[in-house]
Structure 1
Amino acid sequence: MANDLGLAFYITICCVTFIISKIILMILLYKRWKRKNMIYEEGNFSGGKMVMFRSPLLQSVTPDVFLKKTLKLSNKDIIGAGGYGTVYRLRMNEAMAFAVKRLNRGTADRERGFERELEAMGDIKHRNIITLHGYCTTPHYNLLIYELMPNGSLDSLLHGKSVESKILDWPTRYKIALGAARGIAYLHHDCIPHIIHRDIKSSNILLDHNMEARVSDFGLATLMEPDKTHVSTFVAGTFGYLAPEYFDTGRATAKGDVYSFGVVLLEILTGKKPTDEAFLEEGTKLVTWVKGVVEERREEYVVDSSLGCSCPMDEINKTFNAALLCLETDPTKRPTMAEVVKMLEQIKVRESST
């Protein structure tokens, strides 16, 4: 009898806990929906709509003014282009400018990419995540309006052959790595539902005027409820950054983002692209090349030569160790992004205490 009462009590507690957790989740989701749908102003025009999120930066700009400016964008305003669409610089005045991503309509995949960005970015406010200021829908294309990052992307600075590229010293590289890690950790741990980016790479890490990293491009992002471990989806992303298990399972997980970030860390350390021509000629890739050298304790041979011989090898070795943990073949052995942030933070803490 006592055992039956105990079992009944246990089942009751479990049911109540489950119901309460669902109620809390629904409240959080409602608040998220309410923020997305209540904090904007609209400007309508024939066949489309302009929506601007309210912020101190936009107090002096109306959606109609924004709309008139976007309709005047031309090829001379282009600052980036790719399979995802075209990015323009939208200059409002001498002191205010934005980045406008134009996504042509016409396929379900393009429409879904636009919807993913809005879904993921609607109410995110974090110093290491790009800020979405608004969007525009028309019959032929969609626009996403972001803050403009004056220092471009990590990819262009590390690998670019134009005037945009420049030598990054070690303190700046470390700052970028830590900032990007904090941004991804925020997506994984603090957003409800959690956000899996699915396309972490150096070209999606943008840099503001202080060289602070901002994670960008949420066209492949997937939302995941806190009680889930993965989301089944089609394999997408960028070759050289994708976790090996992703190809086998088609499951998007937070640990897949961790692997991709590990590749970015290797880029920062070595200055080489994951698919560098030298690797392709040898039938290998950045990850396997670095793993082989690090196992032989010859990290200094893979460090970007532009850093010079005066960079702190102790800090660099610790960063290599963090990268290799992120790149474990078994995803269960990889750290979470919160743990990666702690590892990177400890590098400077230990260095300053010695």
Structure 2
Amino acid sequence: MELYFAVLALACLQSFVLSDFQGDALASLRDSLNATNGQLMDWNPNQVNPCTWSNVMCDPNNNVVSVTLSSMNFSGSLSPKVGLLRTLTTLTLRGNGITGEIPEEYGNLKSLTNLDLENNRLTGQIPASLGNLKKLQFLSLSENNLSGSIPDSLSTLPNLINLQLDSNNLGGQIPPALFKVSKYNLTGNKLNCGINLPHPCASDSGNSGSSRKSKVGIIIGVVGGLVLLLLCGMLVFLYKGRRNGYRREVFVDVAGEVDGRIAFGQLKRFAWRELQIATDNFSEKSVLGQGGFGKVYKGVLADGTKIAVKRLTDFESPGGDAAFQCEVEMISVAVHKNLLRLIGFCTTPTERLLVYPFMQNLSVAYRLREVKPGEPVLDWSTRKKVALGAARGLEYLHEHCNPKIIHRDVKAANVLLDEDFEAVVGDFGLAKLVDVRRTNVTTQVRGTMGHIAPEYLSTGKSSERTDVFGYGIMLLELVTGQRAIDFSRLEEEDDVLLLDHVKKLEREKKLDAIVDRNLNKNYNMQEVEMMIKVALLCTQASPEERPLMSEVVRMLEGEGLAERWEEWQHIEVTRRQEYERLQRRFDWGEDSVYNQDAIELSGGR
């Protein structure tokens, strides 16, 4: 315990100074875009790791992989220094007023799969260096003022599947190989299109994604043969459909979806009044829970649908409504039976709300510790199902979403239960929606004490391995029914941290003493031991030693646990010796006062 709080104390006093090139490159982009005082306020390379910045996502090694700055009304230009971000896979700057040329240095972004600069005021030629982006799949430069010819190098991109160059001032001959791209739109330019080449300027699949400006341009300006007339007719039809509510598809790389296409048409934008009525004016009687991200209210829509409305605090993310909506849509892409489905959202100048389906059996934490007299507690078979379901949900976030989503606060209170007691992981991705500058912890760590991995406390850097640690603590909650940290155990001269308490009993071969008494001994001790072993593997001090969530799933299913456990026992002996050495160095004294209510940095929802 002493070591744990020593790490916390050091972390809370530490000032993070970022000097790596990623922070410099992103800060250069912020400056070149002429960001105002209200935009990208947390992009400060002298204070914060860029992986905590709004609209930025990183991989487990803290490499920047995604920058999304759509519709934020920037008026500046593109910084060449962005070309230094060699791990960047997604760069989206659509819907701004960006001027100037596309830097040649963007051809150095060797990991890039998605480049979206649509609907800006870019001028100059398309850099031939973009032909170096061999992993590029989606390129949209539509609705700009680009001129010159289309570089032949674009036709050599082996993975390009969607090319949108419509509504520019491009001219000259179209490289014939571009017509092999499955989705393309070249309309609204001065290209040699359909006269000497037997090809239309837009593929059938590309038409549905063409912009309003390009469609109007086709209707007004394209004349010629029967093919072009039919094309115009189809575009007019699509244009009218769009005005009647058609929503453009957003293309992302998500495993398990056909062609990686996700339509956000099902994500509803609610009116404030609609949610106000549904929750009885956000009555305190409707509150289901409260945590670091805000209160959750039970509500009923006009059609009788039961919902849960999360009213966010700390929501003032730079970029306002557009940036918030973009992040919400990214979260809504994560669709899995063990992840809480986002129904919709609501934004006003002073409010941000998320709408979810109501989970009839509330949270695992509630079922473990807060059930009312007469309500059933979780039996052992249900707890096993919860453990596996939550693991599969986290596995999906970590290993099947691109970019991956890190939860940052995995605990029993954030694992919900549907009508069949199926585990549904909630609150994932919310750390990207809020303004982390407003947290009251100097390290900007989000989470709940007892669940937070030690490396996250000491560095402020989270990864999927920090989620694995939180998941391991949640397994211990499932087995014991106890909180992750409980100061009442001090009276018994026992370990305050549940993890340390369980480790002690495991060494003493007394695990039966820790099993939740509410189970009334109706459990399989071998299965209990297996779950505790998985939990201890997940909560190793070194993040590199923790298993991936896919490995956790396999171990829970009975594969590979024995080998990992034997390795862990050797590591634990050494770790214990080091812990005892450090314990002698840190003396907190007996007069230290701890406030359990203040321990939660992001409490139960």
TM-score category, normalised to shorter length: 0.7 to 0.9
Deviates more, 1:267-276 or 1:119-128: 119-128
Unaligned 5+ runs, structure 1? 1-14, 43-50, 53-62, 224-232, 348-354
Show CA shifts across 1:61-96 (max 9, x none): xx7994674485331333223342222222126752
Partner of 1:153: 363
Distance 1:114 1:79, change over 3 A: farther
- Residue 329 in 1 paired to residue 541 in 2? yes
Partner of 1:85: 294
505, 510, 513: which is aligned to 1:301? 513
User: How many angstroms apart in 1 are the aligned matches of 2:454 and 2:267?
Assistant: 44
276, 281, 284: which is aligned to 1:73? 281
Partner of 2:410: 200
Show CA shifts across 1:236-280 (max 9, x none): 211110011112222111111000000000000011101123335
User: How many angstroms apart in 2 are the aligned matches of 1:116 and 1:269?
Assistant: 39
User: How many angstroms apart in 2 are the aligned matches of 1:299 and 1:125?
Assistant: 37
Partner of 2:496: 284
Residue type of the partner of 2:421? M
Partner of 2:34: none
Residue type of the partner of 1:252? S
User: How many angstroms apart in 1 are the aligned matches of 2:375 and 2:539?
Assistant: 27
What is the SS of the residue equivalent to 1:151?
Answer: coil
User: How many angstroms apart in 1 are the aligned matches of 2:486 and 2:326?
Assistant: 30
What is the SS of the residue equivalent to 1:39?
Answer: helix
- Residue 134 in 1 paired to residue 344 in 2? yes
- What percentage of residue pairs aligned between the two structures are identical? 38
Unaligned 5+ runs, structure 2? 1-107, 112-131, 140-160, 163-248, 254-259, 434-442, 560-605
Residue type of the partner of 1:300? D
Distance 1:164 1:134, change over 3 A: farther
Partner of 1:101: 310
What is the SS of the residue equivalent to 2:535?
Answer: helix
User: How many angstroms apart in 2 are the aligned matches of 1:140 and 1:71?
Assistant: 18
Partner of 2:57: none
Does the Cα contact within 8 Å between 1:205 and 1:214 map onto a contact in 2?
Answer: yes
Residue type of the partner of 2:298? R
After TM superposition, the structure 1 = structure 2 runs for residues 233-248 of structure 1, keeping only pairs within 5 Å, are 234-248=444-458
After TM superposition, the structure 1 = structure 2 runs for residues 1-354 of structure 1, keeping only pairs within 5 Å, are 22-24=135-137, 31-32=251-252, 38-40=264-266, 51=269, 66=274, 69-70=277-278, 72-75=280-283, 76-92=285-301, 96-104=305-313, 107=316, 118=328, 120-160=330-370, 162=372, 166-218=376-428, 220-221=430-431, 234-281=444-491, 282=493, 284-346=496-558
User: How many angstroms apart in 2 are the aligned matches of 1:305 and 1:120?
Assistant: 42
Q: How many pairs does the alignment contain?
A: 306
TM-score, L = length of structure 1: 0.75
Post-superposition offset of 1:318: 0.8
Does the Cα contact within 8 Å between 1:85 and 1:101 map onto a contact in 2?
Answer: yes
Show CA shifts across 1:262-300 (max 9, x none): 000000001110112333544531000101111222211
Distance 1:98 1:211, change over 3 A: same
Show CA shifts across 1:305-334 (max 9, x none): 221234111111111111110011111111
TM-score, L = length of structure 2: 0.45
What is the SS of the residue equivalent to 2:298?
Answer: strand
User: How many angstroms apart in 1 are the aligned matches of 2:267 and 2:397?
Assistant: 26
Structure with the bigger percentage of strand? 1
Residue type of the partner of 1:302? I
Does the Cα contact within 8 Å between 1:73 and 1:90 map onto a contact in 2?
Answer: no
The CA RMSD measured in Å over matched residues stands at 3.6
Structure with the bigger percentage of helix? 1
Does the Cα contact within 8 Å between 1:279 and 1:286 map onto a contact in 2?
Answer: no
Residue type of the partner of 1:32? V
Partner of 2:117: none
Larger Rg belongs to: 2
